[in-house]
A and B are shown apart, each in its own frame.
Chain A
């Protein structure tokens, strides 16, 4: 497809560039600046070079936080993407139930992050929380404050509850765009339900699923508020994800240099992984286009 081209269009994009420069690039450069210096307060800075980076990359604490973060994102993607698609497949396509379902699905997305954390914090408490109390009453020893497994399960369930609707809504939009003729043709061809899913629905949903995976990956990889409110990173450091660790480092210990270096590395990891996801998921397509004569 051809797009109109006019050099003056750049002027229209200029405000965005300025905004990005002020809101992203300048602060980022400040962080870069911090990451290569050392300070002991009083606004005195000393050149540190790559020291902080070397220290960070070698640090056990960073490795563990990174590991926890990767594990968390992996679990989230493995649960939310298939579950979201499944929900989208079950959602009604006609009638008055459509709008009702859409509203219900959108509800969790409208709740602020810190409120979500608070809701689950109360919900999971053994003394007054509906979930915690019920579990304990039926004989399950559940305590997210002390038990590492329970803490993880609670955070994962909380995130699934909060964000699966996003995946479902995106997948639903993809499903809705498939013309009826495809389903009819598949019926005529005698295709099974599974074949219809694999050969028609999945390929046609692919583009929105790529977006869903990227969104959910980036979001889950940067998760901060909910676990901070719920567990504060504990018990121990068992739910201290990268972002929580970063805040502890920067604000708790006021180690601006190492924290800045960690921010940069954090940022690069997200960028790298997103790029890998995107390339892998669209590889098939590029091959197809490249091969077409």
Chain B
């Protein structure tokens, strides 16, 4: 089983919602669609499900062209952001509903419903109706209904967005395990980079209807192909600064120079944009090659274990993420350290020229 989108576009009136998307999702894979609101995640899912027809391009399922085939005959399961359950049916009947439609024999139905309920820890609630459940339990019911169907394609459209932070964290950890056993192709839409990283699998980053990159999640995070992808896939947002490279030195605004070592070595002379993640902008010199810069504090946010230091430097606004508690006063100067080994280099067209090497430990 595999799902292939070939040059799929979707136009509605004059507006293009999806631009020429090609994706290949292998059987049993977990795939995250990551992008902000209105970037086309939902439309792409609806195209995969057959709820919408592409304007151009083809959708292949298992090698067969299913472009015109209606959703009813495709065997797809879908879970939405809103908790969609039958309000008058018990949790048991909710989970059983796809099997009743498929006319599954009673003994098998009962076994499958109980199996799905066990996986999602719903056994004590089987006799209740959805309205008697908490939000987390309601969404678990919807997930169980998707699971019990054993559909080869399961689409999850921001399924955890309406749940409490802590519940989200727990379900996020459980979901890949639960669905891994089914062998289904899982597609999961989210706006949150941290969610994509926690789910793992593959990630497609979306920006205004285009898939900017598709690959193993951690690789997309480590080597975003362009600046847009880096922006979409960073939380906190990546810091950017313009730089001129000449004679082995990168000259940044604010009269800062970085030696062209690490990812900067071998970058041809000219104007580039450097990107670096907030956790690589340090308050202390951690690397011998780090360059000190003088910035002004805008505001400091402290989470208890970490500090997010928002700073201004020569017209750029950056965030430094530092372990521990650092209470810095607004509008005061602060000395920070830029590590040239951690720089992403983007060319004038926004394409990635060079990325930091992953640390040896990560291999």
Compute how far the CA of A96 lies from the CA of B92 in the bound complex, rounded to whole angstroms. 33
Answer yes or no: B51 CB below 8 A from chain A CBs. Answer: yes
Nearest CB of chain A from residue B40's CB, rounded to whole Å = 10
List the A side residues contacting B68 at CB < 8 Å.
Answer: 6
Compute how far the CA of A6 lies from the CA of B53 in the bound complex, rounded to whole angstroms. 7
Nearest CB of chain A from residue B282's CB, rounded to whole Å = 41
Answer yes or no: A8 CB below 8 A from chain B CBs. Answer: yes
Answer yes or no: B257 CB below 8 A from chain A CBs. Answer: no
Nearest CB of chain B from residue A164's CB, rounded to whole Å = 33
Residue of B nearest to A3 (CB): B52
* A residues 1-49 in Cβ contact with B at 8 Å: 2, 4-6, 8
Decide if A2 touches B43 in the complex (CB within 8 Å): yes
List the A side residues contacting B51 at CB < 8 Å.
Answer: 4
Decide if B12 touches A2 in the complex (CB within 8 Å): yes
Compute how far the CA of A20 lies from the CA of B293 in the bound complex, rounded to whole angstroms. 76
* B residues 53-74 in Cβ contact with A at 8 Å: 53, 68, 70-71
Chain B residue total in the interface (Cβ 8 A): 11
Interface of A is mostly: loop
* B residues 212-245 in Cβ contact with A at 8 Å: none
Residue in A4, A6, A8 whose CB lies within 8 Å of B46:
A4
Q: Digit string of B23-57 for contact with A (CB within 8 Å is 1, else 0)?
A: 00000000000000000000100100001110000
Compute how far the CA of A181 lies from the CA of B301 in the bound complex, rounded to whole angstroms. 29
Residue of A nearest to B71 (CB): A4
Nearest CB of chain A from residue B55's CB, rounded to whole Å = 10
Decide if B70 touches A6 in the complex (CB within 8 Å): yes
Compute how far the CA of A6 lies from the CA of B52 in the bound complex, rounded to whole angstroms. 8
Answer yes or no: B17 CB below 8 A from chain A CBs. Answer: yes
Nearest CB of chain B from residue A51's CB, rounded to whole Å = 46
Decide if A5 touches B46 in the complex (CB within 8 Å): no
Compute how far the CA of A10 lies from the CA of B76 in the bound complex, rounded to whole angstroms. 23
Residue of B nearest to A9 (CB): B70
Decide if A5 touches B70 in the complex (CB within 8 Å): no
Decide if A5 touches B17 in the complex (CB within 8 Å): no
Between B43, B52, B71, the greatest number of chain A beta carbons within 10 A of the residue's beta carbon is seen for: B52
Compute how far the CA of A8 lies from the CA of B53 in the bound complex, rounded to whole angstroms. 12
List the A side residues contacting B52 at CB < 8 Å.
Answer: 2, 4-5
List the A side residues contacting B17 at CB < 8 Å.
Answer: 2
Residue of A nearest to B53 (CB): A5
Compute how far the CA of A58 lies from the CA of B45 in the bound complex, rounded to whole angstroms. 62
Decide if A2 touches B46 in the complex (CB within 8 Å): yes
Given A2-B12, A2-B17, A8:B70 Cβ within 8 A: yes
List the A side residues contacting B12 at CB < 8 Å.
Answer: 2
Q: Digit string of A32-76 for contact with B (CB within 8 Å is 1, else 0)?
A: 000000000000000000000000000000000000000000000
Compute how far the CA of A4 lies from the CA of B53 in the bound complex, rounded to whole angstroms. 7
Compute how far the CA of A8 lies from the CA of B68 in the bound complex, rounded to whole angstroms. 10
Residue of A nearest to B17 (CB): A2
Nearest CB of chain B from residue A259's CB, rounded to whole Å = 44
Compute how far the CA of A6 lies from the CA of B10 in the bound complex, rounded to whole angstroms. 14
Compute how far the CA of A235 lies from the CA of B43 in the bound complex, rounded to whole angstroms. 64
List the A side residues contacting B43 at CB < 8 Å.
Answer: 2
List the B side residues contacting A6 at CB < 8 Å.
Answer: 53, 68, 70
Q: Digit string of B180-207 for contact with A (CB within 8 Å is 1, else 0)?
A: 0000000000000000000000000000
List the B side residues contacting A2 at CB < 8 Å.
Answer: 10, 12, 17, 43, 46, 52
List the A side residues contacting B71 at CB < 8 Å.
Answer: 4
Compute how far the CA of A6 lies from the CA of B70 in the bound complex, rounded to whole angstroms. 7
Nearest CB of chain B from residue A256's CB, rounded to whole Å = 47
Compute how far the CA of A2 lies from the CA of B43 in the bound complex, rounded to whole angstroms. 8
* B residues 9-28 in Cβ contact with A at 8 Å: 10, 12, 17
Nearest CB of chain A from residue B209's CB, rounded to whole Å = 12
Compute how far the CA of A8 lies from the CA of B17 in the bound complex, rounded to whole angstroms. 23
Compute how far the CA of A2 lies from the CA of B17 in the bound complex, rounded to whole angstroms. 9
List the B side residues contacting A4 at CB < 8 Å.
Answer: 46, 51-52, 71
List the B side residues contacting A8 at CB < 8 Å.
Answer: 70
Q: Digit string of A230-252 for contact with B (CB within 8 Å is 1, else 0)?
A: 00000000000000000000000
Nearest CB of chain B from residue A38's CB, rounded to whole Å = 49
List the B side residues contacting A5 at CB < 8 Å.
Answer: 52-53
Nearest CB of chain B from residue A268's CB, rounded to whole Å = 31
Compute how far the CA of A163 lies from the CA of B70 in the bound complex, rounded to whole angstroms. 44
Residue of B nearest to A4 (CB): B51
Compute how far the CA of A5 lies from the CA of B17 in the bound complex, rounded to whole angstroms. 15
Compute how far the CA of A4 lies from the CA of B48 in the bound complex, rounded to whole angstroms. 12
Residue of B nearest to A8 (CB): B70
Q: Digit string of A202-237 for contact with B (CB within 8 Å is 1, else 0)?
A: 000000000000000000000000000000000000
Residue of B nearest to A1 (CB): B12
Nearest CB of chain A from residue B16's CB, rounded to whole Å = 12
Compute how far the CA of A2 lies from the CA of B52 in the bound complex, rounded to whole angstroms. 8
Compute how far the CA of A4 lies from the CA of B68 in the bound complex, rounded to whole angstroms. 12
Nearest CB of chain A from residue B337's CB, rounded to whole Å = 42
Q: Digit string of B300-340 for contact with A (CB within 8 Å is 1, else 0)?
A: 00000000000000000000000000000000000000000
Residue of A nearest to B47 (CB): A2
Compute how far the CA of A8 lies from the CA of B51 in the bound complex, rounded to whole angstroms. 13
The 7 closest A-B pairs by CB, nearest first: A4-B51, A5-B53, A4-B52, A6-B70, A2-B52, A2-B43, A2-B12
Question: A residues within 8 Å of B by Cβ?
Answer: 2, 4-6, 8
Question: B residues within 8 Å of A by Cβ?
Answer: 10, 12, 17, 43, 46, 51-53, 68, 70-71
In the complex, given contacts A4-B51, A5-B52, A6-B53, what are 5 additional A-B residue pairs having Cβ atoms less than 8 angstroms apart? A2-B10, A2-B43, A2-B46, A4-B71, A6-B70
Question: What are 8 A-B pairs at a CB distance below 8 A?
Answer: A2-B17, A2-B43, A2-B46, A2-B52, A4-B51, A4-B52, A4-B71, A5-B53
